């Protein structure tokens, strides 16, 4: 199990290996917010509780560049694994169909790989849309695409313990936890 690292503002940042979390605590860069009950970790001189949540002592600015990157893993997670045109979930796709990345403004017509221009589409809808703009073919995404908050991306493919989920809920509200857990 990994340790949830919070920013000084309590904003959930990422999951780190327990050893790295301990090093941050020993170096005075982080404090333990919650530890696993009845579990200790030994280092050369210290006996420490096994951290489940740590909080950085100093606020860390999260670079914008990280937030802008579009990968299919995060894109499909943002769109909750549903084709944004026909609405089918990936589990409802037929044999030989798959989820793909569709560009609202096609790349061939100058569209970019930006969060606001990409949506999850099943391969059939993607083929049907082809090189058209949404207005030209009457295919509009169910949810207008926006750049997701980076934390949703970071968590989309990871498992949270109940204690860790509590901190996500505190910061982002219960809807964020539900979305992350699908
Ligand atoms: Zn579709």
Q: What is the pTM of this model?
A: 0.58
- How far, in Å, is the centroid of ligand 1 from the Cα of 84? 7
| C-alpha of residue 155 to centroid of ligand 1, in Å | 25
Cross-strand partners of 4: 15, 53
User: In Å, what is the CA distance from 99 to each residue of 52, 57, 68, 119, 120?
Assistant: 35, 41, 21, 10, 7
Contacts of 123 (CB under 8 A, 6+ apart): 96, 97, 98, 99, 100
pLDDT tens, position by position, for the chain (182 residues)? 788 889 898 888 878 888 899 999 999 999 999 998 777 777 677 788 889 999 999 988 765 555 567 888 778 888 889 999 999 999 999 999 999 999 999 999 999 999 899 999 999 999 999 999 999 999 999 999 988 765 665 565 566 777 887 887 777 677 666 666 65
Which of 37, 34, 40 lies closest to 53, judged by CA?
34
**Cα–Cα dist 61/72, whole Å:** 25
Q: CA nearest 53: which of 80, 83, 24? A: 24
Interval between CA 123 and ligand 1 midpoint (Å)? 7
Query: Whole-angstrom Cα distance, residue 168 to residue 171?
Result: 5
Residue 67 DSSP SS3: helix
Alpha helices in 61-173 (DSSP H): 64-68, 72-78, 123-129, 134-137, 150-156, 162-172
Interval between CA 122 and ligand 1 midpoint (Å): 4
């Amino acid at each position: 199990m990994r340790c949830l690292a919070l920013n000084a503002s309590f904003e959930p940042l990422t999951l780190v290996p327990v050893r790295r979390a301990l090093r941050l605590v020993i170096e005075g860069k982080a404090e333990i917010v919650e530890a696993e009950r009845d579990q200790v970790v030994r280092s050369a001189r210290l006996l420490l509780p096994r951290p489940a949540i740590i909080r950085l002592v100093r606020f860390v600015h999260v670079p914008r560049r990280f937030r802008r990157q579009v990968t299919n893993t995060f894109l499909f997670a943002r769109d909750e694994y549903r084709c944004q045109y026909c609405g089918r979930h990936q589990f409802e796709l037929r044999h030989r169909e798959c989820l793909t990345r569709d560009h609202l403004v096609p790349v061939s017509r100058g569209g970019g790989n930006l969060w606001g221009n990409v949506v999850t589409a099943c391969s059939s809808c993607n083929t049907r849309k082809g090189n058209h703009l949404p207005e030209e073919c009457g295919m509009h995404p169910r949810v207008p695409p926006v750049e997701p908050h980076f934390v949703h991306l970071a968590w989309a493919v990871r498992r949270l313990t109940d204690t860790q989920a509590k901190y996500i809920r505190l910061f982002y509200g219960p809807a964020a936890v539900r979305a992350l857990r699908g």
